[in-house]
Structure 1
Amino acid sequence: MWEELTKAALEILTALSKSLEATTGIESDSIFWIKLATVVLGLCAASFSTFYWGRKILRDKIQQVLVDPEAFWRKPPTKAVAKQYLARQAHSLPIITIANYKGGVGKSMIAANLAAYFDIVGLRVLLIDYDYQGSLTDIVPYADPEKMTFSAHEILKGDKSDRHVTEPHRLGKSYQRTAIHPAEATLSRIDSHLIYQWLTGGRTDDIRFNTQAYLASAAVRAKYDIVIIDTPPRICAATANALCAATHVLVPTILDTVSSRAVLRSVQMFIDFREKLGLSFKMLGIVPSRVTNSRTYSNRESKALEYLNEELASRFGKIPNPITGAREPVIALAGLPICNRVALLHIDGDDPGIFKETGGDPVIRAMFARLGNHVLEQIGLIRKPATEVVPDADIRTTPTVINFGVRAGASAG
């Protein structure tokens, strides 16, 4: 645009100088210096204008990140990025993102114990801790905590070091099939730095898809059967990455009035994010977390669950998946609660309920067996249980069979 304006200005100046020379008799040398001075002044004005508007655009972008981060993160990707996303997603591992924009609902606890259960039944599990508080990293008993290999923030940055790509931390002797990319103290700073680079043009790639690119690598797909990503309670580069990589999203919530309203807002934002970016992840449902009793709901919890079911049905009962077109209602998994005694184990500094080398808590094991079987059934890794999940939160379980044949081809990379 500025080249065209400068060219037009020069043409006008040339015409004016010729007219001035013809009518006033001013020497051509003087006309030259007048033209040169005018051009220099014009270029200075153009440079100042470009600098001013460039800074204004940058200020507007920064303001959007701070004032309306949801709108910033859900801006549509380019056609090339969208095409690449669909190509990767067609051959993706099952990737479960555990998310809720409200904190303290048990995301990390559920991620850790689901991973333990999946390991017990024979699946190779990769955990990624994108929560800046590092709760999942603190919960799981991973080996050599002082020896960092490939932490979560390196995935977020889009690092592609082949030397580290298959070197997450193992979870010790009891869980040989499970590994974690832990959170570090620098994760929040890395997130902010990525945003700055993206805003200022320091990065031309779409940083929201860095995690999907990493998990689509042949090295990762050959070593793992399933991935679980823990997220922070807000929208940011880490959460956007987790949603863009996900094949499924699981949303824990506490059954009270405040948490129920918060989880509805979270689900709405996840659905909007999926729609705007053209993502294909499926909503696995809302998991009642930190309930009082493992078998029955309290009066308060029952009322919150009733409210939640009504609102989910009215708001999200007929929303089609933007890629598959299938109508996938978001439901509360009323028969699969996780009781508060698991959270209490964590507060007391104990290992997660199912992470026990000698038995562990049978009630907690049963809860996560039921939830784990339901999740594996929904993503196609096990056959349907012989009995359906009962709505009264009974902890009975039925034997299930892992269908490894489903993943045989994909796991080979």
Structure 2
Amino acid sequence: MSKVITLANQKGGTGKTTTAVNLGIGLAAQGNKVLLVDADAQGNLTDSLGYQEPDNLPVSLATIMTKTIMEEPYESDEGILHHAEGVDLMPGNIELSAIEVSLVNTMSRETVLRSYINSVKDKYDYVLIDCMPSLGMMTINALATADSVIIPVQAHYLPAKGMTQLLQTIARVRRQINPRLTIDGVLLTMVDNRTNFAKDISFVLRRDYGDKLRIFQTEIPLSIRAAETSAQGKSIYAFDPHGIAARAYEAFTKEVLDIGEKQHKRQHQTNLSR
């Protein structure tokens, strides 16, 4: 059974794309088939996987979404790229900016992305969608498509205000469009363990949200090596396999797998009891 996870935070610079890459490749290393979807017009995920000129790619997510809107046919594997570390990628680029605008006047505008993902997800165990840092139509589409959300939060500032806005949007999408949407958890990223400030933020986040949300046990440390990986088109596992960031992403991947297994068991028991 395929699970679709959206990585979302309307604030930029929270390590969302780095998390998408390393979680995706971490899941693939555990024997899962993984599709990464770049739903950000900046194309950072595409760039991070070594496709350094996303705007020159002949087919991208924008191409497929345009075909979906126009009700034109497309092949289920059209535009999908294969990365050396075992994941597939549906690339994103600047053309998504135009899609964002055209969605406003589109019928069933919140579910265009869902229509595409539903046509490919059966080939994969996990589909990870990397969102743009906004709460615009593309992010709403990603939330409408997902089974769950992971929220990366940078440990450099108190995220309460931005978090509240994001949680309200998720709740609205759940009520109006996608009742099965859940929050897998909040992931603290760029944690500088040398400072009390990072520890304070971790404490405040767990205190204020810990009863409502899972705060992942794993915290992603601030790592120059991790920042350098995106320029190399590789994951942290290939670039610095024994470093602190690689170990942290490995532990985080295990947490995500555990959630998936528990949800799968619950679903199985629900089906048996019907």
Both proteins in one fold, TM over 0.5: yes
Taking structure 2 as the reference length, the TM-score comes to: 0.84
Matched, 1:364 2:245: yes
Say which is worse superposed, 146-155 or 261-270, in terms of deviation.
Answer: 146-155
| Partner SS, residue 216 of structure 1 | helix
Q: Match for 1:282: what amino acid?
A: T
| Partner SS, residue 360 of structure 1 | coil
Out of 89, 92, 96, the residue aligned to residue 180 of structure 1 is 89
Shift of 1:279: 2.2
Name 1:9's counterpart in structure 2. none
Label 1:379 to 1:286 Cα distance change in 2 as closer, same or farther (>3 A): same
Out of 197, 212, 216, the residue aligned to residue 114 of structure 2 is 212
Shift of 1:383: 10
Shift of 1:163: 4.3
Label 1:307 to 1:362 Cα distance change in 2 as closer, same or farther (>3 A): closer
Equivalent residues of 1:143, 1:169 under 8 A apart: no
* Higher Rg: 1
Shift of 1:182: 0.9
Out of 325, 330, 345, the residue aligned to residue 228 of structure 2 is 345
Out of 291, 298, 301, the residue aligned to residue 198 of structure 2 is 301
- What is the RMSD computed on CA atoms of the aligned residues? 2.9
Q: Match for 1:365: what amino acid?
A: A
Equivalent residues of 1:142, 1:170 under 8 A apart: no
Label 1:105 to 1:131 Cα distance change in 2 as closer, same or farther (>3 A): same
Equivalent-residue separation in structure 2 for 1:187 and 1:257 (angstroms): 29
Percent of aligned pairs sharing the same letter: 24
**Number of residue pairs matched by the alignment:** 263
Shift of 1:120: 1.2
Equivalent-residue separation in structure 2 for 1:226 and 1:135 (angstroms): 20
Shift of 1:382: 10
Equivalent-residue separation in structure 1 for 2:215 and 2:57 (angstroms): 38
Label 1:337 to 1:262 Cα distance change in 2 as closer, same or farther (>3 A): same
Label 1:146 to 1:99 Cα distance change in 2 as closer, same or farther (>3 A): closer
- Matching of residues 182-261 of structure 1 within 5 Å: 182-195=91-104, 197-198=105-106, 205-217=107-119, 220-261=120-161
Equivalent-residue separation in structure 1 for 2:63 and 2:81 (angstroms): 17
Taking structure 1 as the reference length, the TM-score comes to: 0.57
Gaps of 5+ in 2: 269-274
Equivalent-residue separation in structure 1 for 2:229 and 2:125 (angstroms): 27
| Partner SS, residue 378 of structure 1 | helix
Say which is worse superposed, 281-290 or 153-162, in terms of deviation.
Answer: 153-162
Q: Match for 1:166: what amino acid?
A: D
Gaps of 5+ in 1: 1-91, 199-204, 318-328, 385-405, 407-413
